[in-house]
Structure 1
Amino acid sequence: MFKSGFVAIIGKPNVGKSTLLNVLIGEKIAIVSPKPQATRKSVKGILTGEEYQIIFVDTPGVHESSKKLNQVMKKYIDEALEDFDVAIVMTDNKGEFDEVLEEYLRQIKKKNKKSILIVNKIDLMDKETIEKVKKPFLERVKFDEVLEVSLLNLPDAKQKILEAILKLLPEGPKYYDDDIISTETERFIVAEIIREKIMNNIGDEIPYQVAVVVDEMKFREEKNLYYIKANIIVEKRTHKMIIIGAGGKMIKEIGRQAREEIEAFLNSKVYLDLWVKIKEHWTKKQPLIEEYIDPRF
């Protein structure tokens, strides 16, 4: 009996959704940052075993906002919840719960599909806090499985979660070949690696207004390396100067960190050519938001 299906991962920002995806796949598919809204679009990771294939859909953090960028990001959550076999709802030690998350729980309940509640970062909580965090979720949805884990600090977390998913996954076909671990292009993942390094190296305000677009990516056989030209898009000149840094120090450090990770991802030497460009108010212009968040390579 072969099992397969789509597993939607939802939750508030920074509860560990992208970390969960990366842990389960065993490869870095989604970027991870302590800053909010690291994930801007749904990212699909594919895990294939001898008797199963799971297509995970990592979604942006659930939150309410009237900003144009957030409205576009919300569409990806809505799409993920239109057709799924199992929903994973994640929370953590902060236990954030609001009306937007409650609405998504109503959608899950209405569809009468299988669901798992994962309480992450239990190493930061006592038993009383764990029960307090679970309460608003359990009051609204009858979850098929409730798991308490620490993705980063408890080694059995991956196996516990995988076993719970396989228990609920229906019989189905193999959708993708065994060697495919993501539906995302190499260019998308390269751009996300660069954006992650920007987010983790500069202040709190700027990352929200930064996008990365890979303009050129070619393997140069004569030099036995990939040439990658990427544009870092910002809204203000002051943001551009911060990313470049005094004497170009910051952009060099971002480039060094990104290049090392991209080389590991591509299993090849890389020449990374970074440019910072200003597009005023791009986060308020839907055509630019859609171009930069979900570029059609």
Structure 2
Amino acid sequence: MFKSGFVAILGKPNVGKSTLLNLLIGEKIAIVSHKPQATRKSVKGILNGEDYQIIFVDTPGVHESAKKLNQVMKKYIDEALEDFDLAVVMTDNNGELDEVLEEYLNKIKEKNKKAILVINKIDLMNKEQIKDIKSKFTSIADFEEILEVSLTNQPDAKEKILEAILKLLPEGPRYYEDDIISTETERFIIAEIIREKIMNSVGQEIPYHIAVTVEEFKYREEKNLYYIKANIIVERRAHKMIIIGSGGKKIKEIGKQARLEIENFLKSKVYLELWVKIKEHWTKKEALIKEYIDPRF
């Protein structure tokens, strides 16, 4: 019997959705940051086994906002919940459950789909806190299984979650070739790696106002390396100066960190060129959001 299906990973920002996706796939295909809204679009990761294929869909953190960029991110969550076989709902030691997340939990219920609740970061909680979080979530939705884990500190967390998913996954076909681990392009993953390094190198305000686009991506045989030129898009001159840093030190360090990870991803030497460009109020302009995030929206 061969099992397959689409598994939507849903939850508030910073609960560990991207960490879970990377852990399950065994490769880093989604960026991870302690800053909110690291994930801006749904990222698909494909896990292939001898008798199963699971297509995980990591969605942006669920939150309400009237801002243009957030409305685009919300569309990705809506899209992920249009057609899925199983939902993995994640929460953490904050146990946050608001009206927006409740709305999505109700959607899962309306579609008569099965769900697993994963309570992450249990190393930061006591038994009473875990009990309260369970009670809060189970009062809103039905879960086939509730797992208490610490994704970063528990060696068997991956096995526990995978076992629970495989129990509930339906029989189905192999949707993708078994050597594909993501539907994302190399350009997208490279841009996300650069964005992650920026997010983890600058203050709280700037990450929301940046985008990264890969303008050139070529393999140069004569030098046996990839040449990559990427633009870092910011909204203000002050943001540009912070990213560049005194004497260009900040952007050099960002470039170094990104280049090393991109080399590991491409399994090749890389020459990375970064440019910082100002596009005022791009997060409020639908045309620019479409250009920098996803042309479909």
TM-score range, shorter chain: over 0.9
Looking at structure 1, the residues matched to 130 and 263 of structure 2 have their Cα atoms a distance apart, in angstroms, of 40
Equivalence for 2:227: 227
Equivalence for 1:23: 23
CA contact (8 A) 1:7 1:54 kept: yes
Equivalence for 1:80: 80
Query: What residue identity is the alignment partner of 1:37?
Result: Q
Equivalence for 1:123: 123
2:47 aligns to what SS in structure 1?
strand
Equivalence for 1:173: 173
Equivalence for 1:239: 239
Equivalence for 2:61: 61
How far off is 1:25 after superposition? 0.1
CA contact (8 A) 1:86 1:168 kept: yes
Looking at structure 2, the residues matched to 257 and 135 of structure 1 have their Cα atoms a distance apart, in angstroms, of 42
- Residues 258-292 of structure 1 deviation map (CA, whole Å, 9 limit, x = unaligned): 00000000000000000000001000011111211
Alignment partner of 1:194 is 2:194: yes
How far off is 1:293 after superposition? 1.2
Identical pairs, percent: 81
- Residues 149-206 of structure 1 deviation map (CA, whole Å, 9 limit, x = unaligned): 0000010100000000000000000000111000000000000000000000000000
Equivalence for 2:262: 262
CA contact (8 A) 1:213 1:295 kept: no
2:227 aligns to what SS in structure 1?
strand
TM-score, normalised relative to structure 2? 0.99
Give the gaps of 5 or more residues in structure 1.
none
1:142 aligns to what SS in structure 2?
coil
Looking at structure 1, the residues matched to 28 and 144 of structure 2 have their Cα atoms a distance apart, in angstroms, of 28
Q: CA RMSD in A?
A: 0.8
Equivalence for 1:160: 160
How far off is 1:17 after superposition? 0.2
Query: What residue identity is the alignment partner of 1:164?
Result: A
Which residues of 2 match residues 209-228 of structure 1 at below 5 A?
Answer: 209-228=209-228
Query: What residue identity is the alignment partner of 1:291?
Result: E
How far off is 1:295 after superposition? 5.8
Aligned residues: 296
Equivalence for 1:41: 41
Looking at structure 2, the residues matched to 291 and 83 of structure 1 have their Cα atoms a distance apart, in angstroms, of 26
2:102 aligns to what SS in structure 1?
helix
CA contact (8 A) 1:45 1:183 kept: yes
Looking at structure 2, the residues matched to 287 and 5 of structure 1 have their Cα atoms a distance apart, in angstroms, of 34
Equivalence for 1:274: 274
TM-score, normalised relative to structure 1? 0.99
2:6 aligns to what SS in structure 1?
strand
Looking at structure 2, the residues matched to 185 and 192 of structure 1 have their Cα atoms a distance apart, in angstroms, of 11
Looking at structure 1, the residues matched to 13 and 212 of structure 2 have their Cα atoms a distance apart, in angstroms, of 21
2:116 aligns to what SS in structure 1?
strand
2:8 aligns to what SS in structure 1?
strand
Looking at structure 2, the residues matched to 267 and 134 of structure 1 have their Cα atoms a distance apart, in angstroms, of 43
Query: What residue identity is the alignment partner of 2:194?
Result: I
Looking at structure 2, the residues matched to 227 and 7 of structure 1 have their Cα atoms a distance apart, in angstroms, of 35
- Residues 233-281 of structure 1 deviation map (CA, whole Å, 9 limit, x = unaligned): 0000110011000100000000000000000000000000000000010
Looking at structure 1, the residues matched to 100 and 145 of structure 2 have their Cα atoms a distance apart, in angstroms, of 22
Looking at structure 2, the residues matched to 73 and 135 of structure 1 have their Cα atoms a distance apart, in angstroms, of 29
Equivalence for 1:289: 289
Looking at structure 2, the residues matched to 136 and 9 of structure 1 have their Cα atoms a distance apart, in angstroms, of 19
Looking at structure 1, the residues matched to 30 and 111 of structure 2 have their Cα atoms a distance apart, in angstroms, of 27
Equivalence for 2:95: 95
Looking at structure 2, the residues matched to 52 and 287 of structure 1 have their Cα atoms a distance apart, in angstroms, of 40
Alignment partner of 1:135 is 2:141: no
